[in-house]
Amino acid sequence: MKASVLALALLCASPVVFAQSSPSATGREASHMNNLATLLDLTDAQKVQVQAILQQEHAKMKEAFEQAKSSGTKPDWQQMKALHQQIQQETLQKLTPVLSATQLKKFQVLSRMHHRGHFGHGAPAGSSTAPPAQS
């Protein structure tokens, strides 16, 4: 159970969530992308590229979650955190040629804020420990 909760939390840690296909999720997805485009001052071409990169990031997270779920193994918090960091680094590498240095820096700040829970979920700011186990 704990591993499933952790993996699900990592899926939500992405700056833009693209997972679901429900109408409300599609609206949220568009809203998130529009907000990100505004905050980063993206051109139309950049918006398309960034959206594709973030969708790839989310797909990797979802795949990792599904693999852990289907294999019956329970990765610990550190393993999931390491996987999340690896996927984030890959995303930054893909975004580097797309975004200007200023835009990339803003993206990193927004990602950290999102990951630390400044947008209403996730671990409290400054927290580096795993959340308490749910029973």
> Which pLDDT band holds residue 22 (cuts at 50, 70, 90)?
low
Q: Is residue 93 part of a domain?
A: yes
The mean pLDDT value of the chain amounts to 74
Query: Domain for residue 67, yes or no?
Result: yes
Nearest to 49 by CA among 31, 61, 37: 37
**pLDDT beyond 70 at 122:** no
Domain that holds residue 37: 2-115
135 within some domain? no
pLDDT at 112 over 80: yes
pTM for this structure?
0.65
Rounded to an integer, the average pLDDT of 66-82 is 81
Domain assignment present for 89 = yes
Q: Give a yes or no: residue 25 inside a domain.
A: yes
Higher pLDDT pick, 42 / 111: 42
Amino acid at 122: G
Q: Report the pLDDT value the prediction gives residue 24, as an integer from 0 to 100.
A: 65
43's tokens: 């051109």
| Cβ partners under 8 Å of residue 19, min gap 6 | 11, 25, 58, 62
Token pair 């990951």 in the structure block, residue:
115
**What is the Cα–Cα distance from 73 to 93, expressed in whole angstroms?**
30
In a domain, 44, yes or no: yes
Query: 15-19, 60-64, 94-98 — which is least confidently predicted?
Result: 15-19
Look at residue 83 in the predicted model and tell me its pLDDT: 86
Q: What token pair was written down for 105?
A: 């820096």
The one-letter code for the residue type at 33 is M
User: Could you tell me if residue 133 is inside a domain?
Assistant: no
Q: Examine residue 126 and state whether it is found in any structural domain, yes or no.
A: no
Q: Indicate the DSSP class of residue 124.
A: P
> What type of residue is 54?
L
- Count of domains forming the chain: 1
